[in-house]
Chains A and B, each alone.
Chain A
Amino acid sequence: MKETKQMSVSAIQNGTVIDHVPASNLFKVIQILGLDRIDNQITFGTNLESKKLGRKAIIKISGVFFEDKDINRIALVAPDAKLNIIKDYEVVEKKVVEVPDNIIGIAKCMNPKCITNFESVTTRFRVVSKKNVALKCHYCEKITNQENLQII
């Protein structure tokens, strides 16, 4: 008889679990939150089955608790993300992300004549619509909508 092997991702003692990340945007979330530049223990799984998203990813970060303003930066790439805040192996708080009022340095302006596409300028947008995301460029004043949204 064959032994069934199972890989388990261990639970974290203290930290944050980010669930319901679209699998295709996992690495963008990692990049936006700067998880590739910290020393904390991180485990992630991707292409996990999800009824809601098709394929989802999950990230567990040990010893990190995010401020709302920081975590909301992932709203453009993971609008349905849910956060579990873990203390002593227990979920002490659940959070959802919310599209912030301003987006700095994450999205690309869709206007090919915008200065941000020619010089090294940190992009800045005011969010003019949160439901169907629409961003107004601080520089060229043109609107970038959800269909044309590109993450830098």
Chain B
Amino acid sequence: MKNRSLVSIDDFSTEEILKILDLTKEFEKQPIRKLLAGKVIATLFFEPSTRTRLSFESAINRLGGKIVGFADASSSSVSKGETLNDTIRTVSNYCDLIVMRHPMEGSARFASEIATVPVINAGDGANQHPSQTLLDLYSIRKTQGKLDNLNIFMVGDLKYGRTVHSLMMAMSRWNTTFNFISPEELKMPDEFKLYLDNLGLKYYEHNDFTDIISRADIIYMTRVQKERFSDPIEYEKVKNVYVLRNSMLKNTKPNMRILHPLPRVNEIHQDVDNNPKAYYFEQALNGVYTRQAILCSLLGIK
């Protein structure tokens, strides 16, 4: 994987994904290692994303690397009208690897083609966010002991949710059964269902999940955002249907875990947080180990 970029989860073979997950496990055991000593990593955040940026920067710091970069475009030369092309060509000279978040879709692929160092896509608009997918896969494998033959419930905004699309595509490599639970307006788009049809994988669509929750191995919650609805009345009608409460978890499987890419608003009630099945904060911690593994893989250090 040395000198490769990570733009889309599909860039990596199943074998390569599993290699990163194995390496993540090593970092979980021993996260503080000076493997990036003497390396400079650029974190270019053309749009703010505090969580992702801090997670990457924490990973870099724990590995002893140094960081250059900016946290939003207004404090960079973009505000002076510089093209992405010029920014990437210039920054390539200053660092050993670029981590980039950009609002335009396809920007990360473009950057990876002009950069002379590896690029990690930390989110390009609504398109891809592969380090999130890898940390989701790690969290699933860690809590379930395997990735094969699981029943995954995806809940909330399945239409615009970048993380659910990437996770769905990635999990389709392991014979997953999917349950999609969303309001009518935010259903999983046809192109993704067609993708599962072509692979012969089973999926079911529901508007509510209280009756079927006992079948889930993983419940992947996402935010239902008000601004996604053309009709505000529709939002008012559905906003409480997709809220997970502790009382709903009574009959769930013992191995079941709840994941959420965070930030959460109200879709997981706070009374769930102390339930041992709530896994979203550990999931965020796994993100640091996963990013350590990605950084070291692309730099050819591990």
Q: Which positions in A face B, CB cutoff 8 Å?
A: 109, 111, 113-116, 118-121, 137-143
Q: Is B84 an interface residue (CB 8 A)?
A: yes
Interface residues, chain B, with chain A CB atoms under 8 Å away? 8, 83-85, 102-107, 109-110, 124-128, 191
Q: Could you say which residues of chain B place their CB within 8 Å of the CB of A139?
A: 105-107, 109-110
- Cβ contact within 8 Å between A115 and B84: yes
> Can you spell out 14 A-B residue pairs with CB atoms less than 8 angstroms apart?
A113-B103, A114-B104, A114-B105, A114-B106, A115-B107, A115-B124, A116-B110, A119-B83, A119-B110, A137-B106, A138-B109, A139-B105, A140-B127, A143-B191
A141 touches B83 (CB 8 A): no
Q: Can you list the 10 inter-chain pairs with the closest CB atoms, starting with the nearest?
A: A139-B106, A140-B105, A140-B106, A115-B106, A115-B104, A115-B107, A139-B109, A113-B105, A115-B110, A114-B106
Chain B residues contacting A120 (CB-CB under 8 Å) are: 83, 85
Closest to B114 in A: A121
Chain A residues closer than 8 Å to B125, beta-carbon distance: 113, 140
Q: Which residues of B contact A115 (CB under 8 A)?
A: 84, 102, 104-107, 109-110, 124
Q: For residue B105, which residues in chain A have a CB less than 8 angstroms away from its CB?
A: 111, 113-115, 139-142
Complex CA distance for A111 and B127, rounded to whole angstroms: 11
Nearest-CB distance from A85 to chain B (Å)?
Answer: 37
Are B126 and A141 in contact (CB-based, < 8 A)? no
The distance from the CB of A134 to the nearest CB of chain B, in whole angstroms, is 10
Q: Let me know if B84 and A141 touch, CB within 8 A.
A: no
Residues of chain B within 8 A (CB-CB) of A116 are: 106, 110
Query: In angstroms, how far is the closest chain A Cβ from the Cβ of B126?
Result: 7
Q: A113-B125, A119-B84 are in contact. Are A141 and B104 (CB under 8 A)?
A: no
Given contacts A119-B83, A119-B110, contact A141 B103 (CB under 8 A): no
A101, B278: Cα distance in complex, Å: 46
Distance from A135 Cβ to chain B, minimum over Cβ atoms (Å): 13
What residues on A are CB-neighbors of B128 within 8 Å?
141
Q: Name the A residues within 8 Å of B106 (CB-CB).
A: 109, 114-116, 137-141
Q: Is the CB of B104 within 8 A of A121?
A: no
B107 contacts which chain A residues (CB < 8 A)?
Answer: 115, 139
Residue of A nearest to B128 (CB): A141
Residue ID in chain A nearest B109 by CB atoms: A139
**Given known A113-B104, A114-B104, A119-B84, contact A141–B110 (CB-CB < 8 A):** no
Which residues on B sit within 8 Å (CB–CB) of A140? Answer: 104-106, 124-125, 127
Question: Chain B residues near A143 (CB, 8 Å)?
Answer: 191
**Which residues of chain A have C-beta atoms less than 8 A from B85's C-beta?**
119-120
Beyond A115-B107, A141-B128, list 17 extra A-B contacts (CB 8 Å). A113-B105, A113-B125, A113-B126, A114-B105, A114-B106, A115-B84, A115-B110, A118-B84, A119-B110, A120-B83, A121-B110, A139-B105, A139-B106, A140-B104, A141-B8, A141-B106, A141-B127
Tell me, in angstroms, the Cα distance from A109 to B110 when the chains sit together.
Answer: 14
Chain B's nearest CB lies how many Å from the CB of A123? 10
Q: How far is the CA of A121 from the CA of B114 in the complex (A)?
A: 11
Contacts of B102 in A (CB 8 A): 115
Considering the chains assembled together, what is the distance between the CA atoms of A140 and B105 in angstroms? 5
Beta-carbon nearest neighbor of A139 in chain B: B106
A116 CA / B105 CA spacing, docked (Å): 9
Nearest residue, chain B, Cβ from A111: B105
CA distance A116 to B111 in the complex (A): 12
Taking CB atoms, residues of chain A closer than 8 Å to B8 are 141
Q: Indicate the member of B84, B110, B191 with the most A CB atoms within 10 Å.
A: B110
Residues of chain A within 8 A (CB-CB) of B110 are 115-116, 119, 121, 139
The CA-CA distance from A114 to B104 in the complex, in Å, is: 6
Chain B residues within an 8 Å CB radius of A138: 106, 109
B37: min CB distance to chain A, Å? 34
The answer for the CA separation of A34 and B144 in the assembled complex, in Å, is 58
Q: Shortest beta-carbon distance, B192 to chain A, in Å? A: 12
A114 to B127, CA, bound (A): 10
Chain A residue at minimum C-beta to C-beta distance from B126: A113
Min distance, Cβ A113 to any Cβ of chain B, angstroms? 5
A140 to B106, CA, bound (A): 4
